[in-house]
Amino acid sequence: QSSVTLFGIVDANLRYTKASGQTLKQLGTDGLNSSRLGVRGTEDLGGGLKAGFWLEAALNPDTGTADATRFWGRRASVSLLGDFGEVRLGRGKTSTRLHIDDFDPYSTTGLGDVSKVYSVLGSGSDTLNRSDNMVQYFLPTNLGGFYGSVDVAAGEGASGKKMMGGRAGYKQGPLNAAVAYETTTGLANDKYKQFSVGAAYDFGVVRPSFNYSENKFRAAKQTIYTIAATAPLGQGQILASYTDSKANTAAEAISGVGDAKLLAVGYVYNVSKRTALYTTAAQIKNNKLGRFAVAGSPTVVNGAKSSGFDVGVRHSF
């Protein structure tokens, strides 16, 4: 009687990482997509109106752990959908994160995850990725390619949680272009601000993409350029990205923050629609006091490199 879908992903790999002279051999996870288990469903309310819910939990197949802090931390929401679009209440990705995912061939996951060189610049922002207590509004999908969303999150008296943001974009045929903006009330009620603009064009043989992000808190500022490309090859595709993240002097005064370059390249082989084999090689090259690191890296000392290589399998259900 119940129209519920149980879905998920289990992604595990053999991973080798290296930083500052230390190496680590791991059974790693989440090389291509984040492992998860979810339950979702919609109900037709008549008159074009729908209600829906979505619960999605992170999990680590290497150790069997779940998210100890927020079990349903990937997404927990209830929605009303109609001709007007979607109103969604709960926890989930912010509009800015949805934007950055779209223009990162690694969708902010695995060794190539571009968000590894993004910093909250000491603001205490808890919304770099997802946000609690959100009301989100999404435009309907029939606006001739225009899409967009607006987020408002209640702070509920805690620092780093009160957030407003949104994105606006145009996706038609081979083109996708968008801007996103977000501001979160952090330390001492000062605002952490993220601005992003990105574009991608699918030429068929290759889909180059570009993104520029600015992160600001007080005088500190990061400017982050990413150029990337995906290209179909055989029964799969090549993924490559290059990111140049620059910190101004005020940002460099924050522990762990500095200039950094991230280079990632990999190949995904689709065994079937649900199962893929993949490999990724990535390196973050820090400058000065930067200590940015790839997923699963040993501890990085100031200004050192962090690199990793993995071969894995991703199974969706």
Binding site for a copy of itself (CB under 8 A): 1-8, 10-14, 24-27, 37, 39, 41, 43, 45-46, 49, 51-53, 55, 59-66, 68-78, 80, 89-91, 132-135, 153-154, 156-157, 271-272, 274-275, 312-313, 315, 317
Question: CB within 8 A of 268, min separation 6: which ones?
Answer: 32, 236, 237, 239, 276, 277, 278
Q: Minimum Å distance from CB 279 to a copy of itself?
A: 15
Q: What are phi and psi of 150, to 5 degrees?
A: -130, 135
Q: Please say which residue, 254 or 294, places its beta carbon nearer to a copy of itself.
A: 294
The two tokens of residue 45 are: 């309310």
Which of 167, 151, 178 minimizes the C-alpha distance to 77?
Answer: 151
CB of 18 to a copy of itself, least distance (A): 13
Helix intervals (H) in the chain:
95-103, 249-252
**Shortest CA distance to 137 belongs to which of 199, 92, 191?**
92
Do 245 and 258 contact (CB within 8 A), yes or no? no
Please calculate the CA angle 28-262-178 and round it to the nearest 5 degrees: 100
Task: Name which of 44 and 141 has its Cβ closer to a copy of itself.
Answer: 44
Q: How far is the CB of 205 from a copy of itself (least distance, A)?
A: 27
Q: How many Å apart are CA 8 and CA 35, to the nearest integer?
A: 7
Beta pairing, strands 65-66 & 36-46: unpaired
Residue 295 contacts residue 309 (beta carbons within 8 Å): no
Residue 13 C-beta: closest distance to a copy of itself, Å: 8
Q: Are 179 and 173 in contact (CB under 8 A)?
A: no
φ, ψ for residue 188, nearest 5 deg: 55, 30
Rounded to whole angstroms, the Cα distance separating 273 from 80 reads 30
> Could you tell me the CA-to-CA distances from 158 to 132, 162, 186, 290, 317 in Å, in that order?
11, 8, 9, 29, 37
Nearer to a copy of itself, 45 or 143 (CB): 45
Nearer to a copy of itself, 49 or 143 (CB): 49
Q: By C-beta, is 230 or 297 nearer to a copy of itself?
A: 297
What sign does the CA torsion over 162, 181, 105, 85 have?
A: positive
Gap between the Cα atoms of 214 and 218, Å rounded: 13
In angstroms, give the least distance from the CB of 131 to a copy of itself: 10
In the complex with a copy of itself, the residue whose CB is nearer, 10 or 282, is 10
Q: Which is nearer to a copy of itself, 8 or 303 (CB)?
A: 8
The distance of closest approach from Cβ of residue 212 to a copy of itself in the complex, given in angstroms and rounded to an integer, is: 30
Q: How far is the CB of 262 from a copy of itself (least distance, A)?
A: 23
Q: Which residue's CB is nearer to a copy of itself, number 25 or number 189? A: 25
Give the shortest CB-9-to-a copy of itself separation in angstroms: 9
